């Protein structure tokens, strides 16, 4: 269990790196966006401002998930990280919708000012920086199996693509097509909303105890091959934060002693831990009729 909490601490480090990167980049983009009159760069900067809020939500969720079990949370607080990812998706969706509205308004107002070329360079540098943050958080999220940090990583990647799109719009505007800048901002908004939907879908799937059927069959196969298990009568699994909880009813030889049935249960738990890194397995043993 200590390793689980240590993994969550590592996730917190990733969230703090995201916050620091967003603070620096959002300030840089907003100042340059105003100086060079780029709506795409301004949209990107405002997006990063709200990403700070989303990253804070992830950080708070991870901090809560480290709290030990208590009388009201017998399984611990691990789902707090999934709730944090859900909150982050709502924040991202609101920003995406706002960016889309502003870009459409700018497009139909016929704003003809051409953004400065330097703003494209700002966007490209920002994209490279955010890709570095994305790679770090993604690798860490995969290593510690953390849904909240993976949500933050997806947000990082989305922001990198947003900056690249902003740069393309700004460069296109240099060739007598100023409408490309608000169009790029519109594309930015769509990308933000798409990422928000993906995070929302994954979070709600986990919170409603959804579990991948192919993965469940893999777990079932491991239990079926355990010596002494005659059949599996029922099996369920759900995700609790970054942990998988398994409930299984196995049938064994009716002539086995209680101790022998208990040993089979221990063997199932050991196999699930060693092969699938699952620490919580509830085994119910029934006689094979």
For residue 119, the enclosing domain spans 2-207
Query: Could you tell me if 75 and 122 lie in one domain?
Result: yes
Give the Å distances, CA to CA, from 285 to 19, 37, 277, 280: 49, 70, 22, 16
- Across 23-27, 38-42, 268-272, which has the greatest mean pLDDT? 268-272
Query: What pLDDT is attached to residue 236?
Result: 92
Query: Could you tell me if 150 and 70 lie in one domain?
Result: yes
207, 231, 261 — which closes off a domain? 207
Q: Kind and range of the H or E element at 45?
A: helix 39-65
Query: What pLDDT is attached to residue 113?
Result: 60
Query: What pLDDT is attached to residue 69?
Result: 77
What secondary structure does DSSP assign to 125-164, as a single string?
HHHHHHHHHHHHHHHHHHHHT-HHHHHHHHHHHHHHHHHH
Domain count, the chain: 2
Query: Could you tell me if 151 and 261 lie in one domain?
Result: no
Say if pTM beats, i.e. exceeds, 0.75.
no
Query: What pLDDT is attached to residue 285?
Result: 92
- Mean pLDDT (whole number) for 47-62: 80
Query: Could you tell me if 202 and 222 lie in one domain?
Result: no
How many angstroms separate the CA atoms of 247 and 238, rounded?
Answer: 9
Of 21-25, 108-112, 247-251, 283-287, the poorest mean pLDDT is in 108-112
Contacting residues for 14 by C-beta, under 8 A, at least 6 apart: 136, 137, 140, 141, 149, 152, 153
- What does pLDDT average to over the chain? 83
Sorting pLDDT into bands at 50, 70 and 90, what band is 259? very high
Query: Could you tell me if 124 and 35 lie in one domain?
Result: yes
The total number of residues written for the chain in this structure: 289
Sorting pLDDT into bands at 50, 70 and 90, what band is 145? confident
Answer whether 264's CB lies under 8 Å from 226's CB.
Answer: yes
CATH code of the domain containing 260: 3.30.70.1350
In b/e form, how buried is each residue of 247-265, taking b as 16+ CB within 10 angstroms?
ebebebeeebeeeebeebb
Sorting pLDDT into bands at 50, 70 and 90, what band is 110? low
Q: Which of 182, 121, 128 is nearest to 159 (CA)?
A: 128
Packing angle, helices 118-144 and 39-65, rounded to 10: 20
- Mean pLDDT (whole number) for 176-202: 80
164, 180, 207 — which closes off a domain? 207
Question: What strands, in cross-sheet order, belong to the sheet with 280-287?
Answer: 231-240, 243-252, 280-287
Query: Could you tell me if 138 and 219 lie in one domain?
Result: no
Answer whether 222's CB lies under 8 Å from 272's CB.
Answer: yes
249 or 84, which is more confident: 249
Nearest 5°: phi and psi at 5? Answer: -70, -30
Q: Would you say residue 178 has pLDDT above 80?
A: no
CATH code of the domain containing 99: 1.20.1510.10
Query: Could you tell me if 162 and 87 lie in one domain?
Result: yes
Query: Could you tell me if 184 and 200 lie in one domain?
Result: yes
Token pair recorded at residue 1 = 């269990």
271 or 113, which is more confident: 271
Query: What pLDDT is attached to residue 4?
Result: 67
């Amino acid at each position: 269990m200590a390793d689980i909490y240590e993994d969550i601490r590592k996730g917190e480090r990733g969230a703090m790196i995201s916050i620091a990167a967003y603070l620096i980049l959002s300030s840089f983009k907003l100042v340059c966006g105003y100086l060079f009159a780029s709506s795409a760069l301004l949209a990107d900067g405002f997006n990063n401002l709200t990403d700070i809020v989303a990253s804070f939500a992830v950080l708070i969720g991870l901090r809560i998930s480290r709290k030990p079990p208590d009388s009201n949370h017998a399984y611990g607080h691990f789902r707090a990280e999934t709730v944090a990812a859900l909150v982050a998706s709502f924040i991202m969706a609101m920003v995406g919708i706002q960016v889309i509205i502003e870009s459409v308004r700018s497009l139909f107002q016929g704003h003809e000012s051409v953004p400065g070329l330097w703003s494209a360079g700002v966007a490209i540098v920002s994209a490279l920086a955010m890709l570095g943050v994305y790679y770090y958080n993604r690798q860490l999220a995969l290593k510690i199996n953390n849904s909240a940090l993976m949500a933050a990583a997806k947000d990082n990647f989305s922001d990198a693509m947003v900056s690249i799109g902003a740069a393309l719009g700004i460069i296109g505007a240099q060739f007598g097509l100023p409408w490309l800048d608000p169009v790029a901002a519109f594309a930015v908004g769509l990308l933000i909303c798409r990422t928000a939907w993906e995070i929302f879908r994954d979070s709600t799937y986990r919170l409603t105890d959804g579990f991948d059927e192919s993965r469940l069959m893999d777990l079932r196969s491991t239990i079926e091959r355990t010596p002494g298990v005659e059949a599996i009568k029922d099996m369920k699994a759900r995700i609790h934060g970054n942990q998988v909880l398994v409930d299984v009813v196995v049938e064994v030889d009716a002539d086995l002693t209680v101790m022998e049935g208990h040993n089979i249960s221990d063997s199932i738990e050991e196999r699930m831990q060693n092969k699938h890194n699952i620490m919580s397995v509830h085994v119910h043993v029934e006689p094979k009729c």
